């Protein structure tokens, strides 16, 4: 059967042969124009005037547009406070202030140099600490409170206070932000965008040019990577191209260079989290008070939702009896930060995992022991600090299996011996968990729709609101539809995502793309199947003749004995059999619809912020990783010797794709906590804005020994075919590498190790040369 099989990614051949079409690969039209973006040369200030007269004199420059040319100039995924183009107050360096329309892209950089921006400068803020001191914020979250944390802390045998800091991260998708907009008749626009959220792109383009939503269609064939960076921030760039196309009546293409993309767009949110934790002599956590501060940048974007997920995931996999978690999105003058794989979950999880390492240091116990006694249980200690019951909890079994699989105790003994006998090399070991909640925390986003069209030759076209960014969601939807009708997966084609076919869609994010859109697809397939069953039931009973007798669908009772398999439809009760294509022909000639639309919404979720209780997540994807690292004590160089991963992914729809997602997410997470660091000038300009200055992990950074294994779990009835989401959860396992570094440093430290993430070679060396015994 198709579901559960390792069929190839639907774009695999195209990617390998170079025939896959991305936005900027679309053939240029004869009268097409190119669009460039002019960024602010200041990080903060009031915009006085934009001088672009000289640029307009350049041959090939058609127009320069500013905020005055927009019909609507405020946008935002949650709070609509961010300007498309700066009209008064500048929020960050390289913030778009104007756009250029030109005959060719070669003239764009020349025109940009001729445009002068007159600004009344202000003093910018570039750090969370500065923002806290000056009480600058864009959002304050409702606290999550459980029990009496102050009383529990006061009565705890031991307490620790401290802060944990983790940096931002560049998305580094291979395809930069890109859009092409084609003007159609009657003022309509057809937008092709590299976007995770076609509906938001459609709406923002329409608002920017001043037309109703139904005048704009947004189409997304695929993206060359997204990772959250194209959830909200793709829409403005489509609006810039849309404005040029609408004003000039010509197709408009905007494709940022990698340098411009990195400089203009937001990143993963840096966090600085202050905490006080109470625990007993065995290391069991009794209470946690945590104040989370994120760097939102100048605008809200998705920062509030990201902060709240960090607050939800501050527990990682551990039961906390008493808790008070607060959160603030700080306002700074760095590019407005946005969604990134994990969506705040990693920043919350990393904090408690670091606390676990500190508790182990204080009690003199192995960190794995501390993790074990604090793990969520099955019958008791199984309610989160936000009141959600963790049912079907596999964490205790995962712990035992990963300890065995990774040979943890043997590795720990070997490391203890190695670190005593060696001078110049230092090793560390850590176990990390992911307990990632699956659902949008904004309840209304947990909806989707699908259109399924069955053709008379037995082939099928499926359209959903999901967008393909390489993660394989189209392939999973293809398998779901093929499985439903009992046909080979190559007879199913998932069509480009279009707001014309699937309207009011949610972004492909929150690891919910396959869950929501796959469920809608299955629902639509089942509607068609029920019609076919009735047609064939009447046909086999002699109640209709092909193409002759008019026929009205009606309830025929239980028809579960009619099944679809091996490109046939079989009546297993009466022994009838017919090919799938013949069944379609009978239905067609009797004027029965072979297409269906279905709507799906995730049931049973919701969270009351005021009461700090509810069920914000549909279920959890769980996993664990054990990572071992080696550090060169003279250079700070880090090597990951081994990583063993164990994941609970329910019953995977495509195990091969899920394995790829697990591997990729872990490596991306590992990069965030080790080598990937953002550098800004003292003026707020991003310095690490290219592949030469910003380094993602390469093959030499990956674990020398790397294993991934899935546990069998058929109990997840909350998702299609009992599968589980995989896109984001394994990212959090990369944190195990950072904790292994921290663990290694404890072998040379007199006191608790305070290590800021990412653990770059320089930071490791600073720790070794600072508070170390040697």
Categorize the per-residue pLDDT at 542 as very low, low, confident or very high, splitting at 50, 70 and 90.
Answer: confident
Can you tell me the distance from the alpha carbon of 318 to that of 321, in angstroms, rounded to the nearest whole number?
Answer: 10
Residue 129 maps to a domain? no
Asked whether residue 288 is assigned to any structural domain, the reply reads yes
Which has the closest alpha carbon to 678: 171, 301, 303? 171
Paired tokens of 234: 């793709």
Segment 436-459 shows an average pLDDT of 98
Helix (H, G, I), strand (E, B) or coil at 431: strand
Of 165, 77, 126, 117, nearest to 298 by C-alpha is 126
590 and 626 share one domain: no
Helix (H) or strand (E) holding 433: strand 425-438
Q: Closest Cα partner for 680 from 47, 18, 127?
A: 127
Cα distances (angstroms) measured from residue 92 to each of 46, 304, 328, 336, 392: 11, 19, 20, 8, 46
* Rg over CA atoms, the chain: 28
pLDDT in tens, 741-763: 999 999 999 899 999 999 999 99
Look up residue 281 and give its two tokens.
Answer: 């002599």
639 and 494 inside one domain: no
CA distance 535 to 543: 9
Same structural domain, 425 and 454: no
What is the pLDDT, as a whole number, of residue 445?
A: 98
Q: How many domains does the chain have?
A: 3
* Average pLDDT of the residues in 413-435: 96
Alpha-carbon distance of 515 to 724, in angstroms, equals: 8
Note whether residue 291 is domain-resident: yes
Residue 738 and residue 594 share a domain: no
| CATH number of the domain bearing residue 309 | 3.30.365.10
CA-to-CA distance for 454 and 592, rounded, in angstroms?
A: 12
Give the model confidence (pLDDT) of 481-538 as tens digits. Answer: 999 999 999 999 999 999 999 999 999 999 999 999 999 999 999 999 999 999 999 9
Query: For the ranges 466-470, 606-610, 663-667, which has the lowest average pLDDT?
Result: 606-610
* Cα end-to-end span (Å), the chain: 61
For 341, the token pair is 């794989």
Say how far apart CA 746 and CA 412 lie, in whole Å.
Answer: 14
Residues 6+ apart with CB under 8 A from 414: none
* Distance, CA of 248 to CA of 302 (rounded, Å): 33
Nearest to 114 by CA among 36, 57, 183, 198: 57
| pTM for this entry | 0.97
Do 64 and 108 lie in a common domain? Answer: yes
Catalytic pick from 118, 362, 728, 766?
728
Q: What's the pLDDT band for 548 if we cut at 50, 70, 90?
A: very low
* Closest of 339, 102, 109 to residue 240, by C-alpha: 102
The beta strands (E) that lie in 151-223 are given as 158-166, 178-183, 189-193, 216-220
481 three-class SS = helix
In angstroms, rounded to a whole number, what is the distance separating the alpha carbons of residues 745 and 358?
A: 12
CA atoms within 13 A on the CB side of 188: 10
* Cα distance between residue 707 and residue 712, in whole Å: 17
Tell the burial category of 35 from Cβ atoms under 10 Å away from its Cβ (0-12, 13-18, 19+). buried
- Whether residue 544 lies inside any domain: the answer is yes
Q: Is the pLDDT of residue 549 over 90?
A: no
Domain final residue pick, 573, 601, 629 = 601
148-159 average pLDDT score: 98
299 and 321 share one domain: yes
Under 8 Å CB-to-CB from 487, ≥6 apart: which residues?
458, 460, 564, 567, 580
pLDDT tens digits for range 51-85: 999 999 999 999 999 999 999 999 999 999 999 99
Q: Please tell me the predicted confidence (pLDDT) of residue 611.
A: 87
**Using CA atoms, how far apart are residues 612 and 609, in angstroms rounded to an integer?**
5
Tens digit of each residue's pLDDT (9 = 90 or more) over 689-705 = 999 999 999 999 999 99
Q: Is the torsion defined by CA of 661, 664, 670, 674 positive or negative?
A: negative
pLDDT digits (tens, 9 = 90+) for 300-335: 999 999 999 999 999 999 999 999 999 999 999 999
Mark whether 554 is an active-site residue.
no
Closest CA to 322 of 388, 277, 372, 375: 277
Same domain, 563 and 461: yes
Cis-peptide into 626, omega within 30 deg: no
3-class secondary structure, 729? helix
Query: What are the Cα distances from residue 395, in Å, to 317, 382, 468?
Result: 8, 11, 31
Q: In this structure, is residue 140 part of a structural domain?
A: no
% of the chain residues with pLDDT over 70: 98
The reply to whether 514 and 588 lie within a common domain is yes
Residue 141 lies in a domain: no
Inform me whether the pLDDT recorded for 10 exceeds 80.
yes
Distance of CA 65 to the CA centre of its chain: 33
Query: CA 84, 88, 93, 99 torsion: positive or negative?
Result: positive
Could you say which of 538, 567, 601 is where a domain stops? 601
CA atoms of 602 and 617, how far apart (whole Å): 10
pLDDT band at 553 (very low <50, low <70, confident <90, very high): low
Residue 506: domain span: 447-601
Average pLDDT over residues 535-545: 86
> Which ranges in 268-394 belong to alpha helices (H)?
303-312, 345-363, 367-374
* CATH classification of the domain holding 74: 3.90.1170.50
**Is 209 a member of any domain?**
yes
CA atoms of 105 and 764, how far apart (whole Å): 44
Place of tokens 């009708």: 485
For every residue of 417-463, DSSP letters joined together read HHHHH-SSEEEEEEEEEEEEEES-SSGGGSEEEEEEEE-TTS-EEEE
Q: Are residues 298 and 215 in the same domain?
A: no
DSSP-assigned states of every residue in 314-351: GGTTB--SEEEEEEEEEE-SSPPP---TTTTHHHHHHH
Mark which of 558, 576, 601 sits at the end of a domain: 601
588 & 713 share domain:
no
Q: Are residues 310 and 374 in the same domain?
A: yes
Q: Answer for the pair 728, 511: CB distance below 8 angstroms, yes or no.
A: yes
pLDDT for residue 774:
40
With cut-offs at 50, 70 and 90, classify the pLDDT of residue 545: low
One domain, residues 304 and 238: no
Q: In the chain, pLDDT over 90 holds for what percent of residues?
A: 95
Across the range 599-614, mean pLDDT stands at: 93
**266 assigned to some structural domain:** no
Question: Is the per-residue pLDDT at 163 higher than 60?
Answer: yes
* Mean local confidence (pLDDT), 28-52: 98
What is the residue-averaged pLDDT of the chain?
96
Instruction: Report the distance separating Cα 150 and Cα 324, nearest Å.
Output: 9
């Amino acid at each position: 059967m198709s579901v559960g099989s390792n069929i190839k990614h639907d774009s695999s051949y195209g990617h390998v042969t170079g025939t896959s079409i991305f936005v900027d690969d679309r053939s240029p039209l004869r009268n097409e124009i190119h669009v460039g973006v002019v960024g602010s040369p200041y990080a903060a200030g009031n915009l006085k005037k934009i001088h672009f007269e000289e640029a307009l004199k350049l041959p090939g420059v058609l127009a320069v547009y500013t905020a005055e040319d927009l019909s609507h100039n405020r946008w935002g995924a949650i709070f609509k406070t961010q300007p498309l183009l700066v009209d008064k107050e500048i929020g960050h360096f390289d913030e778009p202030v104007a756009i250029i329309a030109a005959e060719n892209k070669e003239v764009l950089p020349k025109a940009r140099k001729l445009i002068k921006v007159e600004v009344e400068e202000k003093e910018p803020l570039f750090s969370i600490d500065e923002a806290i001191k000056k009480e600058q914020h864009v959002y304050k979250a409702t606290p999550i409170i459980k029990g009496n944390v102050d009383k529990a802390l006061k009565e705890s045998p031991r307490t620790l206070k401290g802060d944990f800091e983790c940096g931002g991260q560049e998305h580094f998708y291979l395809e930069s932000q890109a859009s092409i907009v084609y003007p159609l008749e009657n003022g309509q626009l057809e937008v092709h965008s590299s976007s995770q959220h076609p509906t938001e792109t459609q709406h923002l383009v329409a608002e920017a040019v001043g037309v109703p939503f139904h005048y704009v269609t947004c189409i997304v064939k695929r993206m060359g990577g997204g990772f959250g960076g194209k959830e909200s921030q793709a829409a403005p760039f489509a609006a810039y191209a849309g404005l040029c196309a609408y004003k000039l009546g010509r197709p408009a293409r905007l494709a940022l260079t990698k340098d411009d993309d990195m400089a203009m767009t937001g990143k993963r949110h840096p966090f600085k989290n202050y905490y006080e934790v109470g625990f007993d002599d065995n290391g069991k956590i009794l209470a946690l008070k945590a104040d989370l501060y994120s760097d939102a940048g100048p605008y809200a974007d998705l920062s509030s939702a990201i902060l709240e997920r960090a607050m939800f995931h501050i527990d990682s996999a551990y039961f906390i009896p008493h808790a008070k978690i607060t959160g603030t999105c700080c306002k700074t003058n760095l590019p407005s930060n946005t969604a990134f794989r994990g969506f705040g979950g990693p920043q919350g999880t990393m904090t408690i995992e670091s606390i676990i390492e500190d508790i182990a240091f204080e009690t003199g116990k192995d960190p794995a022991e501390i993790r074990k006694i604090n793990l969520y249980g099955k019958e008791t200690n199984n309610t989160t600090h936000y009141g959600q019951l963790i049912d079907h909890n596999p964490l205790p079994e995962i712990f035992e299996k990963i300890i065995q699989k990774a040979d943890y105790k043997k590795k720990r003994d070997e490391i203890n011996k190695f670190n005593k006998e060696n001078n110049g090399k230092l090793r560390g070991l850590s176990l990390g968990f992911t307990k990632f909640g699956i659902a949008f925390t904004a309840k209304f986003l947990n909806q989707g729709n699908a259109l399924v069209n069955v053709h008379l030759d037995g082939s099928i076209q499926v359209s959903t609101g999901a967008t393909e960014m390489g993660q394989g969601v189209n392939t999973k939807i293809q398998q779901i539809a093929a499985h439903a009708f009992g046909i080979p997966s190559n007879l199913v084609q998932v069509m480009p995502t279009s707001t014309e076919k699937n309207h009011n869609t949610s972004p492909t994010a929150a690891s919910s793309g396959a869950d929501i859109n796959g469920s809608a697809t299955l629902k639509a397939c089942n509607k068609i199947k029920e019609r076919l069953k009735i047609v064939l039931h009447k046909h086999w009973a002699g109640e209709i003749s092909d193409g002759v007798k008019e026929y009205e669908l009606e309830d025929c009772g239980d028809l579960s004995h009619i099944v679809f398999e091996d490109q046939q439809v079989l009546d297993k009760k009466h022994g009838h059999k017919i090919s799938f294509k013949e069944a379609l022909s009978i239905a067609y000639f009797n004027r029965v619809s072979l297409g269906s639309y279905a709507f799906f919404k995730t049931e049973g979720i919701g969270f009351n912020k005021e009461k700090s209780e509810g069920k914000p997540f549909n279920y959890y994807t769980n996993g664990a990783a054990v990572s071992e690292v080696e550090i060169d004590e003279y250079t700070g160089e880090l090597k990951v010797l081994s990583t063993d991963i164990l994941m609970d992914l329910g019953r995977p729809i495509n195990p091969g794709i899920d394995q790829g997602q697990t591997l990729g997410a872990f490596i991306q997470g590992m990069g965030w906590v080790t080598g990937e660091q953002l550098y800004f000038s003292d003026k707020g300009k991003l310095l690490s804005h290219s592949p030469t200055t910003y380094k993602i992990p390469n093959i030499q950074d990956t674990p020398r020994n790397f294993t991934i294994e899935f546990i069998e779990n058929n109990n997840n009835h909350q998702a299609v075919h009992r599968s589980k989401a995989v896109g984001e959860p394994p990212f959090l396992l990369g944190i195990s590498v950072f904790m292994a570094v921290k663990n290694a440093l404890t072998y040379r430290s007199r006191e608790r190790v305070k290590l800021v993430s990412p653990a770059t070679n320089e930071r490791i060396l600073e720790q070794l040369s600072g508070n170390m015994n040697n």
